[in-house]
Structure 1
Amino acid sequence: MHLDHPDTMPQRHTHSAEPLRPDGRRAFRVGLGGPVGSGKTASVAALCRTLRESWSIAVVTNDIYTREDAEYLLREAVLPPERITAVETGACPHTAIRDDISANLEAVEHLEETLHPLDLVLVESGGDNLTATFSKGLVDVQIFVIDVSSGDDIPRKGGPGITTADLLLVNKTDLAPHVGADLATMAADAKRQRGDLPVIFTSLTSDGGVREVADWITAHLTEWHTKAAV
C-alpha cells in the first residue's frame, strides 16, 4: 500500500503517468535495485545531496513491511519531508517494481501532482536478489547496486539485474582488501556479462564517491530536457 496517502489513493493502474511539466514532459525516473545491504539507500541519500541544488528531486522508497528506508532519508534530511514517500510492498520486492507497479506509480504520480514541476524521481526497490529489474512503465533507466563485501564472484553470477541494468554500481570498494575481493576480476566479469553497458566502481563513504553516478544521471536528465524542448 501507499503509506503516505491511504485515504486519497487513486484508482490502481499500470500505465505510465501523463506529462505534468509545463514543457510537456513528466519527471525523469531512475530506479535503484540490488541485494539487501548493497548500498541502495546510501546511494539515494548521496545522490540527493549532490543533485538537489541543481534539480527538483523526489524519492519513493520500497520496503516489504516498514518505512525504514524513507525514515532514514528523513532523518538524514536529504530532501524536505514532502519530497520523500514510502511504499509498503507486502510481498517480494520485485513484484512492486516489475509485475504490479501500480502502488509505485501512484506514489510517483502523487509527488508529481503536488510538487510539479519535478525534474527527477528516484525509485528505490526493497532489497532483492540478482533477478530484480524495473518495469519500463515505472522508470526510464535503472541502476543495479552490488557491493564488494558480498564476494567478488557476484558479477560472474549474472542475473537480469547485473546483465541488463542501464548502470551497474559496484559499491564498498574500500572493503576489498579486508574481504579478499579482487576488483580487477570483478571488472572483467562485469565486462563479460554486460558488454558495453557502463559499470562504476566506488565507495559511497568516500568524498565524492557518488559523483560519477550523479554525472551519469545528469547526462540523462540533460538529454531528457533537450528532447522535451524539440
Structure 2
Amino acid sequence: MPDPVTPTRSLRLGVAGPVGTGKSSLIATVCRALAGELRLGVITNDIYTDEDARFLRSAGVLDPERIRAVETGACPHTAIRDDVTANLAAVEQLEADFDPLDVVLVESGGDNLTATFSPALVDAQLFVLDVAGGGDVARKGGPGIGRADLLVVNKIDLAPYVGVDVEQMVADALEAREGRPVLALSRSDEASVQELRAWVLSMLAAHRGGTHEPQDPGPMAPHFHADGEEHTHDHDHEHPHEHSHA
C-alpha cells in the first residue's frame, strides 16, 4: 500500500502572468525539455478562443490530445482562482484519459500583476514577466510577483533591444520576493532552459515526496469590472467547498 502522504496523481503546475510575457512559449520550452522523460499534459485558458492550445499543438511539443483548452468567458483570474470548476474538471479529465501523468501545466489567460491560482487548482505556480514589459515591472510587486513559487523574467535575449538591465531587474525581483527564487530565461539560452527544467523536476520530487504544500499567494486586490463596481475576491469565503488533492 502506498505511503498515504505520497500523491497518486500528477503535479499540477500553474503558469500566470500578463498578456504577451511568453507563457505559452515557456510551456512549449518545458515540454521540449522534459517530454522525453516525463508524461506531460497541458490545459490552456483563453477568454473566447483556444488560440494558445492551437499554438502549442502546432509547435509539436506534445501529442495534440494532451493539450486541451478552456474558454473562460470571463476575466482570466475568475477561472483560476474564484471559480476553478471548469479548469479542475479539464485537469481531472486529462489525468483520467492519460493516466498516469507526471505533470499537468495549467496556463492562465493573460492577466495583470495580481493574478494568482487557487491552491484548490494547482500545487505550485510560476509567474512570468518579460523584459519587453519594462525593467521596472518586477519591483512593482503584487501577489504573483511576490509569492508565486517561481518568478520567471522571460525573453532576456531581447534586453539589449529594449534598454533593460537584466541583472538589475532580477535584483529588483529578488527584493520584491524577499529572496524567493527568480529565473532569468530565454528559450534560446540552453543554460537557463536547464535551470527551468531542474526547477520543475525538483518541484515534482517534492510533490511526490509529500514535502511540498500548495500555498495561496494571496487574494486578488480590489479591482473594477465593466459595471463600475468594486470587486474583492476571497476564495475561502466565496467558495467554501474544498477540493481534495489526494
Q: Which residue of 1 aligns with 2:239?
A: none
DSSP-derived class of the 1:37 partner: coil
DSSP-derived class of the 1:224 partner: helix
Task: Tell whether 2:96 aligns with 1:113.
Answer: yes
Deviation, 1:31, is: 0.2
CA contact (8 A) 1:65 1:89 kept: yes
What aligned pairs does 1:13-52 form with structure 2 within 5 A after superposition? Answer: 25-52=8-35
What aligned pairs does 1:161-180 form with structure 2 within 5 A after superposition? Answer: 161-180=144-163
- Could you report, residue by residue, the CA deviation over 1:185-212 in whole angstroms, capped at 9, with x for unpaired residues? 2122112110121000011233454221
Deviation, 1:64, is: 0.5
CA–CA distance in 2 between the matches of 1:193 and 1:44?
A: 24
DSSP-derived class of the 1:210 partner: helix
Q: Which residue of 2 aligns with 1:130?
A: 113
Deviation, 1:63, is: 0.4
What aligned pairs does 1:146-225 form with structure 2 within 5 A after superposition? Answer: 146-207=129-190, 209-225=192-208
CA–CA distance in 2 between the matches of 1:202 and 1:193?
A: 18
DSSP-derived class of the 2:21 partner: coil
Which 4+ residue blocks in structure 1 deviate beyond 4 angstroms? Answer: none
- Could you report, residue by residue, the CA deviation over 1:40-90 in whole angstroms, capped at 9, with x for unpaired residues? 000001101111111111000000100000001111111112111000011
CA contact (8 A) 1:148 1:172 kept: yes
Q: Which residue of 2 aligns with 1:88?
A: 71
The residue type equivalent to 1:140 in the other structure is D
The residue type equivalent to 1:85 in the other structure is R
In structure 2, the gaps of 5 or more residues are 1-5, 212-246
Give the share of equivalent positions with the same residue, in percent. 55
Task: Provide closer, same or farther for how the CA distance between residues 208 and 74 of structure 1 changes in structure 2, counting only shifts above 3 A.
Answer: farther
Q: Which residue of 2 aligns with 1:7?
A: none
The residue type equivalent to 2:106 in the other structure is V
Alignment: residue pair count: 206
Decide which of 71, 93, 103 is 2:54's aligned counterpart. Answer: 71
DSSP-derived class of the 2:13 partner: strand
- Could you report, residue by residue, the CA deviation over 1:91-131 in whole angstroms, capped at 9, with x for unpaired residues? 11011001010000010000111111111100000101101
Aligned-residue CA RMSD (Å): 1.4
